[in-house]
Chains A and B, each alone.
Chain A
């Protein structure tokens, strides 16, 4: 996001650690202050919704009759079925899940190109759980200053007690997190007593243990380091953002030159920007960065610095939005205004009116700016995938027929001169109800009959087949063509299965092979 032509050199230089090369860098401890404001409020709501979905969904019941589980969302690995409310997915229908992933991908492009790293800042599980863990930390240790004091202080009994309680609570949340995960893979109400009494399968305990460990480590101990060092998304975002994407921006064109002593400076005739260098934006940052250094890899755009700064600006009676969501285009245009197109240092007077408001030339964000070809294209692609999938699910077959011709032998000549072909016929009953279907040999295939192995059905044209609920039925079917009715060479014919009760049908064009010499 940094562009060379943006005249920001004065704020870009970070404190320089000019020491010799170290083998490793210690983590800088971060003690984020509790923020209040619009975005914090929004994040609480998102947190409640996402955590609510995660913990509650496995407990929702959905009646599918006596032959299928009544859990609304269930990934049944043992029988290879995925249940999602009224939708049941067989392994070969996994393309729907692939479609969801495509939608998630395009959706991420759409969101990122529009409002930047909103996923990182609001919805990512890492962000949500770190937020949750910070709530716990604050509950036991107090807010930023109290935590810093406690951390710097010696190990007293009080510190030991507080820290133990904190880590125990973190572990409890971690166990609950890992514990909730496995309910998506088994019937939740029966798994709970099994789990507590030690009767669940070892995979369940191992999964809970691993997820407990990762939640505790990532959410409690690693926190921002997961985003900075482990996650690939901060790197990918650079390719997603453009100059019309909204990102959390420090508007230095109105903030600089920053000063803690504006009145003194004003008395001395110096002009100062809006930034009073109060460090509120730094104090609330869960990533431990200073947003005033410009867009950074570490910034997850959680917008808490906006809340913090708006609070200060409000109290000082200045216009809010010194830190705010802004596009690079607006920022650049305002910066050019404030610096006479880069020929001068930032001069607040150039963007302000004498009354304290903003110059009419200052660019502000308008929601219409998100309507551009790129977002339109993403949205179209996203909707197209979604609509076609919805259509596909609504019209998909729940009765399917597959026919595999015997590879070897391709045909068998019988003692009376007839020719027989063998087929493996697979009938898929994809509803959780038993049903009886009719398997029918092509009426146009003269002189041909079929025999179903092991079913006492010999030389018939149609056969009633009982199907188990939600199961695949495999039949060995022999088709026999009487002498005189055998075409030379391959003869295509239709094998059809139909459910008289529902009217569903499925067909398969199979081939009947015969030796060239047989007529």
Chain B
């Protein structure tokens, strides 16, 4: 502070601070302002007593009102799940077809299924359920174990080749490396590839057809359209779980790979499994 200075025009003291000849007036605060300031101090004292405030070593003072933001979140979550219960109950009690037919319930089941899918399924099937080599794309219309709502629910509930579940979908294609001659494998691969597109050497197809009828038709069917009872894929369509083309087919004939999907009934419960099935069915490839 420099010397006391009185402003000529207003007759008010200045703070003594000066910037390029401009001085700051030292007008007193209005009384109501000061009172408001004191009121906020008193309020803060009450606040400190009423609510959690002072940090201690491991926790903090709890406040006499016993308020906790964590408890408030818990209450909110409980209220939300209580609201959800109505729908959860409806989904649990109804059949898949009923859920899908209900205009009000279907979007809720789909949304709940989408949430569960992101938690439990995207690790293998991808965030868009688009799959990858060895992990089926759930958007398309090709279903190894059946694509109607109940079949999808069944697959999710009990898994595939998941031995801990008694009702799991189970089948295994045997390796043909020791059963068929390499030439025969080349022939049957050419035949299978020819069912959905052109092949390099069409002369192999006729022989391949014979090999197929003798070794493969039992599971994949005489027309190679597959058999959903045993999860034998349709070999005439454009969708290939382990890659298309003769080389990929031959590799699969010699030493077939087969994925395992866990059963989800015990982990997520029937209701969530139904929601997941609804979500997957409505991705666009679901069957009636």
Contacts and interface: CB of A to CB of B under 8 A. Distances in A.
B285 interface: yes
Interface string B218-236: 0000000000000000100
B275 interface: no
A24 B282 contact: no
A407 interface: yes
A26 B28 CA distance: 9
Interface stretch (A14-22, A119-127, A356-364, A439-447): A14-22
Contacts of B12: 17
Nearest to B142: A415
Interface stretch (A37-45, A152-160, A237-245, A416-424): A416-424
Nearest to A9: B9
A264 interface: no
A24 B33 contact: yes
Tell me the dominant secondary structure on chain A's binding face.
loop
Interface stretch (B133-141, B179-187, B207-215): B133-141
B239 A413 contact: yes
A25 B282 contact: no
B28 A23 contact: yes
B31 A26 contact: yes
B234 A24 contact: no
Given A27-B31, A222-B32, A415-B142, A14 B10 contact: yes
Contact of A24 (B6, B31, B141, B239): B31
Contacts of A413: 140, 238-239
Interface residues of B, number: 36
Nearest to A451: B284
A415 B34 contact: no
Interface in B107-157: 126-130, 137, 139-142
B128 A408 contact: yes
A26 B10 CA distance: 18
Nearest to B15: A21
Interface string A309-335: 000000000000000000000000000
A406 interface: yes
Contacts of A478: 284
B282 A225 contact: no
Given A409-B130, A454-B106, A416 B31 contact: no
A12 interface: yes
Given A407-B128, A408-B128, A22 B282 contact: no
A420 B284 contact: yes
Contacts of A14: 10-11
A405 interface: no
A229 interface: yes
Contacts of B31: 24-27
A23 B34 contact: yes
Contact of A415 (B100, B126, B140, B282): B140
B13 A21 contact: yes
B29 A23 contact: yes
B11 A414 contact: no
B6 A18 contact: yes
Contacts of B93: none
Nearest to B143: A415
A258 interface: no
Contact of B238 (A406, A414, A454): A414
A12 B234 CA distance: 100
Contacts of B106: 454
Q: Tell me which of A15, A222, A415 has the highest count of chain B C-beta atoms within 10 A of its own C-beta.
A: A415
A72 B106 CA distance: 37
Contacts of A406: 128
A453 B103 CA distance: 11
Given A453-B284, A454-B106, A412 B11 contact: no
Contact of A412 (B30, B103, B127, B139): B139
Contacts of A225: 30, 32
B27 interface: yes
A476 interface: yes
Interface in B1-45: 6, 9-13, 26-34
Contacts of B129: 409
A412 B140 contact: yes
B74 interface: no
B32 A476 contact: no
Interface in A471-498: 476, 478
Contacts of B6: 16, 18
Contact of B141 (A15, A414, A454): A414
B109 to A, nearest CB: 12
Contact of B28 (A24, A409, A476): A24
B137 A412 contact: yes
Interface of B: 6, 9-13, 26-34, 100, 103, 106, 126-130, 137, 139-142, 196, 234, 237-239, 282, 284-285
11 contacts: A16-B11, A225-B30, A407-B128, A408-B128, A414-B142, A414-B238, A415-B142, A422-B284, A451-B284, A453-B282, A454-B106
Given A27-B31, A409-B126, A414-B142, 5 more contacts: A14-B10, A21-B26, A21-B28, A24-B34, A453-B284
CB-CB nearest 4 A-B residue pairs: A408-B128, A415-B237, A16-B11, A409-B130
